[in-house]
Structure 1
Amino acid sequence: MKAMLDQYQDRMQRVLDHIDRHLDDHLDLDAISSVAAFSKYHFHRQFSAIFGLSVHRYVQLARMKRAAYRLAYRHGQMITAIALDAGYDAPDAFARAFRRNFGQSPSSFRSSPA
């Protein structure tokens, strides 16, 4: 039993590392589940059970975290470019999502990171 848990942990850690290294890529369920060497259905169930959120939501949050870092530390980068890099088609959609996650607009966060 412990060996199986260790194996699952190793697989999920590989997935998290892969997502972190490929945030700019299209990360679909087929590609990510292959990193874990699970079928996409089994992987999706296991990921949600272990982390308490879907793979898609995890990727969104990872991209939003990276966007927050860029807003705070890369003042030369335009907010629109950061929004597009985070996977949003429009700056206003990014602004709404950012406010929902961080409680302030991207521009106010840039001025005073919380």
Structure 2
Amino acid sequence: MTQAFQTYHARMRRVLAHIECHLDDQLDLEALSKVAAFSKFHFHRQFTAIFGLSVHRYIQLSRMKRASFRLAYRDDQSVTQIAMDAGYDAPDAFARAFRQRFGQSPSSFRKSPDWETWLTAFGPIMNARNKLMQQIFNTSDVTIREVSPIRVAIMEHRGPPATIGTTIQRFIRWRKTVGLVPRSSETFNIFRCDPRTTNPNDYRLDLCVGIERVFDAHFSQIM
């Protein structure tokens, strides 16, 4: 990879990180081109050429992705509030866009998400991010930290990555039931295998939460 190519990718990674952290801001082409240190027109052409979708489309998908997570995992926010945060002036407009993309209304998705359709809908944005992900790592890229032993409760996910969302919902419901909220109980994820090289049915992921006592309830009972 040439130095010029690395510089281009570093600038685009900076833009994606900026978008991720400023979804509530006005993310216009001029502001993002400054983050990339390119002219506005050159930035727009390069972004589309590298990622296969426009800047505007990428931002739309990013906001809709955040909205879908809030619908699935946060019951303290109304559909109206989530719609406004996603940049829609009215819940009806948000509902139409959401149904067109996922085949479900926001309320239906909140109750029973179709994660496989969700995964397909966000294919373009995931492909875009994967193009800039580092593929080869050196020992200098790894940070090893020693910490005191932490007792954790584990919910195991076994099966296609597309169904992880359902496992996360069960995990959140159990945490709420026993009072293990994120602000006071640490969260850990253990990735057992690489989804790119593992048969979907054999994929394994552990969701963990720090605990101070042993619980009698089994995760499998939390549906």
TM over 0.5: same fold? yes
Instruction: State the partner residue of 1:25.
Output: 25
Distance (whole Å) between structure 2 residues aligned to residue 81 and residue 88 of structure 1:
10
Structure of higher RCO (CA pairs closer than 8 Å, 6+ residues apart): 1
Instruction: State the partner residue of 1:15.
Output: 15
Distance (whole Å) between structure 2 residues aligned to residue 5 and residue 33 of structure 1:
17
Instruction: State the partner residue of 1:75.
Output: 75
Distance (whole Å) between structure 2 residues aligned to residue 3 and residue 101 of structure 1:
39
CA displacement, residues 71-95 of structure 1 (integer Å, 9 cap, x when unaligned): 0011120000000000000111101
Give the CA RMSD over aligned residues.
Answer: 0.9
Q: What is the letter of the counterpart of residue 43 of structure 1?
A: F
- In structure 2, runs of 5+ residues without a counterpart are 115-223
CA shift for structure 1 position 36: 0.2
Q: If you compute each CA radius of gyration, which structure gives the higher value, 1 or 2? A: 2
Percent same amino acid among aligned pairs?
72
Distance (whole Å) between structure 1 residues aligned to residue 93 and residue 19 of structure 2:
22
- Higher helix content, 1 or 2: 1
Instruction: Report whether the alignment pairs 1:50 with 2:69.
Output: no
Instruction: Report whether the alignment pairs 1:96 with 2:99.
Output: no
The alignment partner of 1:24 has SS state of coil
Question: TM-score, normalized by length of structure 2?
Answer: 0.50
CA displacement, residues 14-36 of structure 1 (integer Å, 9 cap, x when unaligned): 00000000000010101000000
Q: What is the letter of the counterpart of residue 36 of structure 1?
A: A
CA shift for structure 1 position 100: 1.5
Q: What is the letter of the counterpart of residue 61 of structure 2?
A: L
Question: TM-score, normalized by length of structure 1?
Answer: 0.97
